[in-house]
Structure 1
Amino acid sequence: MGELFDFIVRSRNFILFVLLEVICFYFIINTSNYWSATYFNTSNRYAAQMLAWSNAVGEYTQLRQVNADLATENQRLNQELTRLKQAQPAAPAQYKADSLFANRFKYTVAKVVNNTTQFANNYITIDKGTDDGIQPGMGVISPTGIVGKVKICNRHFSVITSILHSEFLVSSKLIKANEIGTARWDGVDPNLVKLRDISRIKPVSKGDSVVTSEFNSTFPPGILVGRVRSVGVEPNQTFHDITLNLSTNFGNLAFVYVVQNLLRPEQEQLEKQLEAEK
């Protein structure tokens, strides 16, 4: 208290000056219509600017929750879209998938906590593990397309083998040509992959869409892999040399969806039984 009193005594002249300035300013504003209007217009402008800044900061701090909410909503929509596609596949009119087959894919939304793109073999870490039902072998997609496959898990985290991996292969289909091939990264550009095993007699054009095919148990069919960037012919081969623009941007990957095929163990068990009998 004594220090505060000493400060007031030492600064009494300055405090008196500020007080007189405030009183003068008050009288000027209240005795002149011009200065009164100028003051209120100026103060309102700065108040509005401060409010706009405050709202912008508030909206920015809420972006994380907004993104999480959008990811959850996309998860629900992906699951519903997959169910509808599987219930009414491109097949003869007399064919109808049963409800168990149509609902075999289950989606779990997860946040990316680590991601590499600069190596020959790249991996992604997410914040969901076995406690959330994640298991090795499950497919992983993004809101825009394919991402990879779960490699290992613990209770709270999982590591995904990215499509940007030298050994990652995915059965893919050219929609227009209705031709099945294999998408594989060549280890060069993280935005591009190669589509192999497409016969050179099949018509392929720049911009054609490539999606996951029906011939795998990891991904739902119809998930976008990429679009044709360039088409050539492999030397001394009967196949096209096709480069795709990846549909997923791995540089800003924030949320992914882990896909569980509920019927996969049953399918694989039957196929292994057939192999054992050969």
Structure 2
Amino acid sequence: MGELVDFFLRSRNFILFVLLEVLCFYFIINTSNYWSATYFNTSNRYAAKILAWSNAANEYANLEQVNADLATENNRLRSQLTQVLQSKPAAPVQYQADSTFANRFKFTVAKVVNNTTQFANNYITIDKGTDDGIRPGMGVISPTGIVGKVKICNRNFSVITSILHSDYLVSSQLIKAGEIGTSKWDGVDPHLIKLNDISLTKKVSKGDSVVTSERNSTFPPGILIGRVRSVGIQPNKVFHDLTLDLATNFSSLAFVYVVENRLQGEQEQLEKQVETDK
């Protein structure tokens, strides 16, 4: 306490000067309309700037939670959309799927905690595991397109084989041409992927969308894989050389959706039985 008193005594002249300056400033503002308006306009301008900076900082701090909330909402909407598409009659055949088939896909939101794109065989780690119902073999998609397939799990984490993997194949379909082929990464550019096994007799247009086909039990049909970037001819072969722009940007991947096909085991068991009986 004594040191505080000594400080005020030593600084009494400076403190008195500051108080007098503040008092003069107060009288100037209150006795002059011009200076009063100038003061309030200036103070309001700086107060608005500080408030804007504060709001921007708060929004940035809450950005992760906002993204998580959006991912959850997208998950709900995707589930509803998939259910509607799976139950919709397919033209020209008047077919109506039953509720069990239409509701066979379930989606779980997960956050990406590790991701590689620079290797020939790339993997992704997410923060959901067996405790969340995740198991090997489940498909994984992003808000914009396909991602890969679950490889291994423990209680709290799962590792996904990325579509950016030299051995990963996806049954794919061109929307306009209607042809079914196989998408496979060539290990070069993480933004591009190849579409194989499309016959030269079929016309393929640049910009045509490529989606997951009906001929797989891992992904819902119609999940975007990419769009045709270039159309060429494979040397000494009867297939197009097709390069796609990948729909998923793996360099900025933050949230994914793990897809569970509730009927996958039943389908695969029956198909294996047919192979065994041959």
- RMSD (Å), alpha carbons: 0.9
Tell me the residue number matched to 1:5: 5
SS in 2 for 1:34: helix
CA distance in 2, matches of 1:133, 1:87: 25
What is the 5 A alignment of 1:117-128?
Answer: 117-128=117-128
Question: Once structures 1 and 2 are overlaid, which stretch shifts more, 174-183 or 62-71?
Answer: 62-71
Q: Deviations over 1:87-133 (max 9, x none)?
A: 01525443211110010000001111111000110011111111110
SS in 1 for 2:164: strand
Tell me the residue number matched to 2:22: 22
Q: Deviations over 1:163-191 (max 9, x none)?
A: 00001100000111110000000000000
SS in 2 for 1:215: coil
What is the 5 A alignment of 1:177-216?
Answer: 177-216=177-216
CA distance in 1, matches of 2:259, 2:37: 63
Tell me the residue number matched to 1:104: 104
CA distance in 1, matches of 2:97, 2:27: 84
Q: Which amino acid aligns with 2:170?
A: V
SS in 2 for 1:244: strand
Tell me the residue number matched to 1:219: 219
Unpaired runs of at least 5, structure 2: none
SS in 2 for 1:7: helix
Question: Once structures 1 and 2 are overlaid, which stretch shifts more, 140-149 or 61-70?
Answer: 61-70
Q: Percent identity?
A: 80
Query: 1:64 offset after TM fit, Å?
Result: 1.2
What is the 5 A alignment of 1:1-278?
Answer: 1-278=1-278
CA distance in 1, matches of 2:96, 2:44: 66
Query: 1:59 offset after TM fit, Å?
Result: 1.4
Unpaired runs of at least 5, structure 1: none
Question: Once structures 1 and 2 are overlaid, which stretch shifts more, 72-81 or 1-10?
Answer: 1-10
CA distance in 2, matches of 1:196, 1:223: 18
CA distance in 1, matches of 2:6, 2:120: 70
CA distance in 2, matches of 1:251, 1:93: 41
Q: Deviations over 1:26-70 (max 9, x none)?
A: 111111111111111111111111111111111111211111111
CA distance in 2, matches of 1:91, 1:162: 34
Q: May I ask how many residue pairs the two structures share in their alignment?
A: 278
Question: Once structures 1 and 2 are overlaid, which stretch shifts more, 12-21 or 144-153?
Answer: 12-21
Q: Deviations over 1:6-33 (max 9, x none)?
A: 2112222211111111111111111111
Q: Deviations over 1:66-88 (max 9, x none)?
A: 11111011101111111111101
CA distance in 2, matches of 1:227, 1:95: 29
CA distance in 1, matches of 2:81, 2:19: 69
CA distance in 2, matches of 1:89, 1:137: 28
SS in 2 for 1:17: helix
Moved over 6 A (4+): none
